[in-house]
Amino acid sequence: MNNLKREIIGFLMGEGCFRISARCKSRWMDRKLFTPIVLVSLRDDDDEILNKIKEVYGGFVINRPADRKTRVNANPSIMWSVTSSRLVLPICTDFLKSKLPSKKRREVELLKKVCEMKINRSDKGHKGKRSKWFTDEEYKFQEFAFEELKRMKKYKSE
């Protein structure tokens, strides 16, 4: 791993968000689609670092204007995001090479397992056939990982 990647991984340790999104693909589906996501959201005048991360790891950068009416996003911000298992996996792999202790390590380990399973499914499929449909066991693991990441992100007061 080169120095730039090390610096980016250090930055992601502090500012990055590692999560899984769950949504229903359509009203006819009874199963959710789980999508691994890595993102960073900063003030809009900090766009240079996010564009550098995009150069190294891919993804996209979007500007989010201020919404003073609802106060949901009171200040303008910029966000870098990766939502593809094939792009999230190298970030997780590089993150786990770091020797620094990080509370996010367990989150990243779970996210990496989900990415590997999704990539394996789309490459090899079920019984040798390419498929994006998951077995019940694979689906339950994704559901577990989604719930576990939500639980890990809750602040634990003592």
Q: Which domains does the chain have, with CATH numbers?
A: 3-153 (3.10.28.10)
pTM over 0.75: yes
- Give strand ranges (E) for 2-104: 17-24, 32-43, 60-64, 77-82
- Tokens (6 digits) for 141: 């693991």
Q: What is the pLDDT of residue 41?
A: 92
- Ordered per-residue pLDDT tens for the chain, 158 residues: 799 999 999 999 999 999 999 887 666 566 788 899 999 999 888 889 999 999 999 999 998 887 766 666 677 889 999 999 999 999 999 999 988 777 789 899 999 999 998 888 766 655 555 555 778 888 899 999 999 988 887 766 54
Q: Please provide residue 21's backbone torsions phi and psi, each rounded to the nearest 5 degrees.
A: -95, 140
Which amino acid, residue 125? G
DSSP-based three-state secondary structure for 126 = strand
**Amino acid residing at 50:** L
